[in-house]
Amino acid sequence: MIDMPFAAPADYVPGVAPPAVPQPDALWFLFRDSRLLAGEGTMRLPPGALAAGLNAGRPQYLGTLAGREVYAAEAASGADAPAGYRWSDLRSLFSRMDDTLVALAGRALQLVDWDRTHRFCGRCATPTLAKDAERSRECPACGLVAYPRIAPAVMALVKRDPGEILLARSPRFPPGMYSALAGFVEPGETLEQCLEREVLEEVGVRVANVRYFASQPWPFPNSLMIAFVADWAGGEIRPDPLEIEAAQWFIIADLPQLPQPISIARRLIDAVVGEMRAAAGQ
């Protein structure tokens, strides 16, 4: 079990330089586009020989999980799944595949995608080369080095005493579902400044006392969600019509439909509501 979905498992040791010959029982995360090959019904990863045979690119060595080598590789677009296997969307594997493997699959998907999109230099278009000692690709002509990208995003749950939280819904959410506010960090701002800006832009409210809650890697794609709690410091709710379909204060005794428990949004809401209930003696 891992505490946060997509966090690095405790018995995982990252690595970059692959051994000369892969272990026969190595774990292979093989993707076609962004879908993972897993056993139909069993959700088992394919044996190394099968995965290596389907691999159409350069496999990425990811390190070891409890001593077993871990590889990420890519099949040709349109490749058929072997008998007994299917290509599955990573999100559909939650609770069907071991949490530890799902977490590593998220890492594998991001590295395969990064490798695929950095084969050429972004400055001079020369084919790049993988470096041995670190996860990066270097341009032999101009020296530009590309590292896997992470896009930090801030999540904010705003609370107001004595027992209200501010939740909003995006037009992309399932009907009826509300969640905490979130947005991507811009160049040149701190996480706290991002939070204050996002909350003000999205719902017109000012906040104070920003406190860190937790973070969660999110591979759809390349995000790191960093979640905070903040106190309402002024302003009435005015939703940004482009991003927010609805936003309101909800009393904690009467909350709307919330995101799935797997999400950091739900964990944040549950933790804050739990604290507010405890403080109110409920």
Residue 121 found at the interface with Zn ion (CB under 5 A): yes
Say which residue the tokens 């801030």 belong to.
154
Q: 92 or 117: whose CB is closer to Zn ion? A: 117
Pick the binder of Zn ion from 68, 91, 96, 123 (CB under 5 A): 123
Stretch that binds Zn ion, among 24-32, 122-130, 169-177, 268-276 (CB under 5 A): 122-130
Pick the binder of Zn ion from 13, 49, 66, 124 (CB under 5 A): 124
Q: 123 or 149: whose CB is closer to Zn ion? A: 123
Rounded to whole angstroms, the Cα distance separating 201 from 40 reads 46
Please count the residues of this chain forming the interface with Zn ion, following the rule CB under 5 A.
Answer: 8
Tell me the closest approach of the beta carbon of residue 148 to Zn ion, in angstroms: 18
Tell me the closest approach of the beta carbon of residue 121 to Zn ion, in angstroms: 3
CA distances (Å), 5 to each of 64, 263, 274, in order? Answer: 19, 8, 21
Tell me the closest approach of the beta carbon of residue 115 to Zn ion, in angstroms: 17
Tell me the closest approach of the beta carbon of residue 124 to Zn ion, in angstroms: 3
Q: 141 or 253: whose CB is closer to Zn ion? A: 141
**Which residues from 210-229 bind Zn ion, rule CB under 5 A?**
none
CB 6 within 8 A of CB 104: no
Residue 145 found at the interface with Zn ion (CB under 5 A): no
Residue 47's contacts (CB-CB under 8 Å, 6 or more residues apart) are 28
Nearest-5° Cα angle at 68, 67 to 69: 115
CB 71 within 8 A of CB 62: yes
**Which residues from 69-98 bind Zn ion, rule CB under 5 A?**
none
Residue 238 found at the interface with Zn ion (CB under 5 A): no
Pick the binder of Zn ion from 51, 72, 90, 139 (CB under 5 A): 139
Rounded to whole angstroms, the Cα distance separating 192 from 279 reads 25
**Which residues from 9-68 bind Zn ion, rule CB under 5 A?**
none
Strands 68-74 and 145-146 come out as unpaired
Stretch that binds Zn ion, among 47-55, 92-100, 118-126, 176-184 (CB under 5 A): 118-126
Tell me the closest approach of the beta carbon of residue 126 to Zn ion, in angstroms: 5
Residue 3's contacts (CB-CB under 8 Å, 6 or more residues apart) are none
CB 207 within 8 A of CB 196: yes
Q: 139 or 154: whose CB is closer to Zn ion? A: 139
Tell me the closest approach of the beta carbon of residue 222 to Zn ion, in angstroms: 22
CB 219 within 8 A of CB 90: yes
Pick the binder of Zn ion from 10, 142, 145, 279 (CB under 5 A): 142
The b-or-e profile of 31-65 (16+ CB within 10 A means b, else e) is bbebbbbbbeeebebbebeebbebbeeebbbbbbb
Stretch that binds Zn ion, among 136-144, 156-164, 177-185, 192-200 (CB under 5 A): 136-144
Can you give the length of the chain in residues? 282
- What does the binding site for Zn ion look like in residue numbers (CB under 5 A)? 121, 123-124, 126, 139, 141-142, 144
